[in-house]
Structure 1
Amino acid sequence: MTTYYSEEVIQSVIDANDIVDVTSGYMTLKRVGNSFKGKCPFHNEKTASFTVSREKQLYHCFGCGAGGNVITFIMEMEKLPFMDALKFLAARVNMVLPEKQNQQEDHQAYEKKKRLYELHRQTANYYYKILKTTPSAREYLSQRSISQETIREFGLGYASEDWSRLTDFLVTKGFTLTEMLDSGLVLASESKRHYDRFRDRIMFPIVNPRGQIVGFGGRLMTTGQNGPKYLNSPETPIFSKSYELYNLNHCKNFLDDGQILIVEGYMDVISLYEKGIKNTVAALGTAFTPFHGKILERYANEVIIAFDGDSAGKSATEKAMNILKKTSLNVKILNLPSNEDPDSFVQKYGQQGFLDAVAKALTIVEYELGLLKKHNDLSQTDGRLRYGNEAINVLKQLETSLEVDYYSKMVAGETGINQEVIRREVMRSKKRPDNPVQLVESTHNVVTPQKIPRAYQNAQEVVIRYCLKNPEIIDDVPIDFLTDSFYQELISVLLEKRKTGSRIEVNQIMSHFEDSKEVKKLVEFMMNEDEVSRSDYHDALEIMNRFYNEAQLDRLSEQIKRESTTGNDDEVARLTNQLIEIKKMMKENGRH
Structure 2
Amino acid sequence: SWHCFGACSTGGDVFSFVMKKEGCEFRDALRILAERAGVSLEAQRDTQEDSRRNRLYDINEVAAAYFQNALTSPPGAAARTYLDERKISPVSIENFQLGYAAQAWDALMHHLEERGFDANDVVASGLAIAGERGAYDRFRHRLMFPIRDDRGRVAGFGGRTLPGDSADAGAKYVNSSQSPIFDKGSLLYALDRAKDAVRSEGAVIVEGYMDAIAAHEHGFANVVASMGTALTERQVQLLKRYTRNLTLALDADAAGSEATLRGVQVVTDSVDREYQPAINWRGVIRQQETLAADIRVLTMSEGHDPDDVIRADPEHWRQLVDDAKPVLDHLFDVSSARHDLSSARERSAVVAELAPLVAAISDRVVQSDYLQRLARVAQVDEAMLRLELRQPAKPRAQQAVLAAQSASAAVPSPGVRIVRNHVEEFCLALLFRYPELRAEAPAIAPAIFGQSENRALFDAWIEWSDEGEPKGSRPDMGGMPFEESLTADLRPQYERVINLELPSYDDDALASALRSTLWGIEQQRLRLAKRASLAAVADAPREDGGQIAERARSA
**TM superposition score category, shorter chain reference:** 0.5 to 0.7
| SS at 1:198 equivalent | coil
Q: Is the 8 A contact 1:217 1:230 kept in 2?
A: yes
Q: Is the 8 A contact 2:371 2:385 kept in 1?
A: yes
Given the alignment, which residue of 147, 153, 162 partners 1:206?
A: 147
Shift of 1:430: 6.2
Look up the equivalent residue of 2:118 and give its one-letter code: T
Given the alignment of the two structures, is residue 73 of structure 1 paired with residue 37 of structure 2, yes or no? no
Query: Residues 386 and 253 from structure 1, CA distance in 2 versus in 1: closer, same or farther, beyond 3 angstroms?
Result: closer
Partners of 2:320 and 2:142 in 1: CA distance: 32
Q: Which residue of 2 aligns with 1:183?
A: 125
Shift of 1:123: 1.4
Partners of 1:70 and 1:113 in 2: CA distance: 28
Partners of 2:65 and 2:13 in 1: CA distance: 34
Given the alignment of the two structures, is residue 408 of structure 1 paired with residue 371 of structure 2, yes or no? yes
Q: Is the 8 A contact 2:340 2:346 kept in 1?
A: yes
Shift of 1:269: 0.8
Aligned length: 368
Q: Is the 8 A contact 1:241 1:286 kept in 2?
A: no
Given the alignment of the two structures, is residue 313 of structure 1 paired with residue 253 of structure 2, yes or no? no
Given the alignment of the two structures, is residue 197 of structure 1 paired with residue 138 of structure 2, yes or no? yes
Given the alignment of the two structures, is residue 82 of structure 1 paired with residue 26 of structure 2, yes or no? yes
Q: Deviations over 1:484-522 (max 9, x none)?
A: xxxxxxxxxxxxxxxxxxxxxxxxxxxxxxxxxxxxxxx
Percentage identity across aligned positions?
Answer: 33
Look up the equivalent residue of 1:221 and give its one-letter code: L
Shift of 1:232: 0.9
Shift of 1:219: 1.2
Given the alignment, which residue of 124, 137, 156 partners 1:215?
A: 156
Given the alignment of the two structures, is residue 332 of structure 1 paired with residue 296 of structure 2, yes or no? yes
Partners of 1:61 and 1:399 in 2: CA distance: 33
1:357-396 map, 5 Å: 357-379=320-342, 383-384=346-347, 387-388=350-351, 390-396=353-359
Shift of 1:70: 3.8
Q: Is the 8 A contact 2:82 2:163 kept in 1?
A: no
| SS at 1:298 equivalent | coil
Q: Which residue of 1 aligns with 2:526?
A: none
Q: Deviations over 1:51-103 (max 9, x none)?
A: xxxxxxx44456675544443333233332323333334455676655656xx
Q: Which residue of 1 aligns with 2:95?
A: 153
Q: Deviations over 1:410-458 (max 9, x none)?
A: 2233344343443453256568xxxxxxxxxxxxxxxxxxxxxxxxxxx
Given the alignment of the two structures, is residue 115 of structure 1 paired with residue 79 of structure 2, yes or no? no
Given the alignment of the two structures, is residue 275 of structure 1 paired with residue 238 of structure 2, yes or no? no
Q: TM-score, normalised by structure 1?
A: 0.57
Q: Which residue of 1 aligns with 2:184?
A: 241
Q: Which residue of 2 aligns with 1:288?
A: 231
Q: Which residue of 2 aligns with 1:173?
A: 115
Partners of 1:287 and 1:129 in 2: CA distance: 32
Give the RMSD, CA atoms, in angstroms.
Answer: 2.6
Q: Which residue of 1 aligns with 2:523?
A: none
1:337-348 map, 5 Å: 337-348=301-312
Q: Is the 8 A contact 2:186 2:235 kept in 1?
A: yes
Q: Is the 8 A contact 1:202 1:219 kept in 2?
A: yes
Q: Is the 8 A contact 2:356 2:393 kept in 1?
A: no
Shift of 1:252: 0.7
Look up the equivalent residue of 2:158 and give its one-letter code: G
Larger mean Cα displacement after TM superposition, 80-89 or 223-232: 80-89
Query: Residues 73 and 163 from structure 1, CA distance in 2 versus in 1: closer, same or farther, beyond 3 angstroms?
Result: farther
| SS at 1:149 equivalent | helix
Query: Which structure has the larger Rg?
Result: 1
| SS at 1:211 equivalent | coil
5+ residue gaps in structure 1?
1-57, 432-592
Q: Which residue of 1 aligns with 2:170?
A: 227
Look up the equivalent residue of 1:425 and give its one-letter code: E
| SS at 1:245 equivalent | coil
Shift of 1:185: 0.9
Q: Deviations over 1:180-214 (max 9, x none)?
A: 122121222123x2211111111111111122111
Query: Residues 203 and 386 from structure 1, CA distance in 2 versus in 1: closer, same or farther, beyond 3 angstroms?
Result: closer
Query: Residues 99 and 237 from structure 1, CA distance in 2 versus in 1: closer, same or farther, beyond 3 angstroms?
Result: farther
Q: Deviations over 1:281-300 (max 9, x none)?
A: 22245442211121122211
Shift of 1:230: 0.9
Q: Is the 8 A contact 2:143 2:159 kept in 1?
A: yes
Q: Which residue of 2 aligns with 1:549?
A: none
Q: Is the 8 A contact 2:250 2:260 kept in 1?
A: yes
Q: Which residue of 1 aligns with 2:541?
A: none
| SS at 1:324 equivalent | helix
Q: TM-score, normalised by structure 2?
A: 0.61
Look up the equivalent residue of 1:262 and give its one-letter code: I
